[in-house]
Structure 1
Amino acid sequence: MHCEMVWQIENDLDFKTVENVILIHRFPIIDLCLSMGDLSLMGVVADTLTLPNDIRDIATRYSTLTIDNLAKSEGRRFIRSHLPISLLSPSFFQSGCKVIYCARNPKDLVVSYYHILQFFKPKESESVSFKAFWNAFRSNWTIYSPYFEHLKEAWKKRNEKNFMFLFYEDTMKDLKQGIVNMAEFLGKELTNDQQERLVDYLNIDRFKKNKSVNCQHLCDLGVASTKNEFIREGGSGGWRKYFFGDLEVEVEEWISENLKNTDLVFPKD
């Protein structure tokens, strides 16, 4: 949601473009470009299926998501990453780019991560219980782990120029204020009407149905599950359906241990 918020603010609420260009093509993920090799294979997959032209075009366009193309692109660029700051360019904070780091309470994050696994790898994840996934996550066996080292790196940089550290929970609690804060950081001014329109556009019930962001095309291409959703509930506190009893004790102890000697406090959900 934050990526779409940023793109819309910077592009003066261009809802028309969104109808034809999915988020990943407007806001590519640099680690995806690095890890997936030749993304033109998406086009190869599309050629083996009977698909509408718009889905075929989306698949073919994945081939443009390369590091070389990102480097050559002109004008303002929008780039996402799940990588920790220490694995990004050493000139990260001297380049003049605006950097936004979105942190999320690990209890909700691990639940979301578990469901993302089911969306992208349904066959492999069907036999994986939530408890097993939680154990892998806290043992740093999942991609982009370890979570707390990732988080602490960003927290230490929170006062750097052009760097915004925010909590997912704060945005979801007051979406309009989150939009105001983001616009201020980006140096953009939105009228109250624009703010309200963006709040409506980002409303979770509408957002789930937005084909530009909900990865429906991946289901059409057969590389994601039609039984699961990429965008599920939004909000916070959903962890209570998964962490209870001994698991809740485990996760609270894990958080407390890892936040020792820091002043980082997660928002209450």
Structure 2
Amino acid sequence: MATKEDKPRLFLKRKVYKGVTMMENEVEEIEKMETRPDDIWVCSFPRSGTTMTQEMVYLIQALDFKTAKSEQLMSRFPILDVKDDRYPYYKGLKYVQEMKSPRFIKTHLHHFLLPEQLRNGKGRIIYIARNPKDLVVSFYRLMHWGDQLTEEETTFDKFIDTFVNGKGYACPWPRHVLEYWERRNDKNVLFLRYENVIKDKPATIREIAEFLGRKLTDQDVERITEHCRVENMRDNPMVNLAYFRDIKTLNDDADGRFINAGQSGTWQNKLTPEQSAKVDKLIKEIEGSGLTF
């Protein structure tokens, strides 16, 4: 194995498009892309339980545990809105366009930036939302570990500031969750809360299966639940981004990895009262919507 010093940083460039900070991508083409009726899109703000939801969705639809254990999730269920040829799985739009149906697609795009056809009902959307206090803790740990912090985000305090002021990656958070929440009753949208998912995964698996029109046996539900236990996912090189170590610099001395505790409420041991009060400003922006955490 090469040493940390031997590996490139591979920092993902960012851009701002229609007021939203995102990684380099082909968003202009994504907005106009052709979708398919049987597309399955998992959408989220980063660190909201996306990977867990992707793996559950893939297994609910395909029941292919062999492939799930042997092929990278990022190959089976690619992220569309990151394009960087230095990485093996950030292949962008062309890769998705050539996938066989049903396509599994991940994105952190705001709803208003999704393909117009998808927004109009051609394809299915599963959105997962998470308490922003747990989210921001997990988000910083990932970006620190993955060596993706900008000069404005070099400390946790600074990272929280960019999250709260809407300048960070995928921000602003309130707009992101509210856009999907307001469409929760659309026939092609399923809105999930992270806290409910981890509290009762079997119930969530059945809810997703019903949404996708899949019939699962109790044994199917049990196998998917076991496969998606956080302890198993943390040790699973097909979902835990272990391949990063082969290609880029990582900060393994950081407090966290790609998959961490998989719990809710851990922010209480991480945020200072001042930091918590800052995130409260975001929660206040969604008051009156009916969406609570």
Which of structures 1 and 2 has the bigger CA Rg? 1
Deviation at 1:91, TM superposition (A): 1.7
Answer yes or no: is the 8 Å Cα contact 1:30–1:81 preserved in 2. Answer: yes
Q: Is 1:243 matched up with 2:243? A: no
Give, in whole Å, the separation in 2 of the partners of 1:123 and 1:80. 22
1:1-269 equivalences under 5 Å are 1-12=52-63, 14-33=64-83, 36=84, 39=85, 41-42=86-87, 59=88, 62=89, 65-121=91-147, 128-227=154-253, 228-256=256-284, 258-266=285-293
Give, in whole Å, the separation in 2 of the partners of 1:123 and 1:244. 21
Give me the CA root mean square deviation. Answer: 2.0
Deviations 1:40-85 (A, max 9, x none): x34xxxxxxxxxxxxxxxx4xx37x231232233321000000001
Answer yes or no: is the 8 Å Cα contact 2:54–2:77 preserved in 1. Answer: yes
Answer yes or no: is the 8 Å Cα contact 1:21–1:212 preserved in 2. Answer: yes
Give, in whole Å, the separation in 1 of the partners of 2:239 and 2:95. 22
Answer yes or no: is the 8 Å Cα contact 1:101–1:165 preserved in 2. Answer: yes
Give, in whole Å, the separation in 2 of the partners of 1:122 and 1:98. 31
The change in CA–CA distance for 1:25 and 1:248 in structure 2 (over 3 A counts) is same
Secondary structure (helix, strand or coil) at the match of 2:178 reads helix
Deviations 1:216-258 (A, max 9, x none): 00112224334451101111111112223222233334422x0
> Which sections of structure 2, spanning at least 5 residues, go unmatched?
1-51
Secondary structure (helix, strand or coil) at the match of 1:111 reads helix
> Which sections of structure 1, spanning at least 5 residues, go unmatched?
43-58
Deviations 1:128-155 (A, max 9, x none): 2222211111011101111101111111
The change in CA–CA distance for 1:121 and 1:192 in structure 2 (over 3 A counts) is same
Secondary structure (helix, strand or coil) at the match of 2:287 reads coil
The change in CA–CA distance for 1:84 and 1:254 in structure 2 (over 3 A counts) is closer
Give 1 or 2: higher strand fraction.
2
Over the matched positions of the two proteins, sequence identity in percent amounts to 32
Give, in whole Å, the separation in 1 of the partners of 2:147 and 2:279. 25
TM-score, scaled relative to structure 2: 0.76
Secondary structure (helix, strand or coil) at the match of 1:96 reads coil
TM-score, scaled relative to structure 1: 0.82
Deviation at 1:93, TM superposition (A): 3.4
Give 1 or 2: higher helix fraction.
1
Deviations 1:98-152 (A, max 9, x none): 1101111111111111011112117868x82222211111011101111101111
Give, in whole Å, the separation in 2 of the partners of 1:123 and 1:143. 10
Give, in whole Å, the separation in 1 of the partners of 2:95 and 2:230. 32
* One-letter amino acid of the counterpart of residue 213, structure 1: V
Give, in whole Å, the separation in 1 of the partners of 2:225 and 2:172. 33
Answer yes or no: is the 8 Å Cα contact 2:134–2:267 preserved in 1. Answer: yes
Number of positions where the alignment pairs a residue of Structure 1 with one of Structure 2: 239
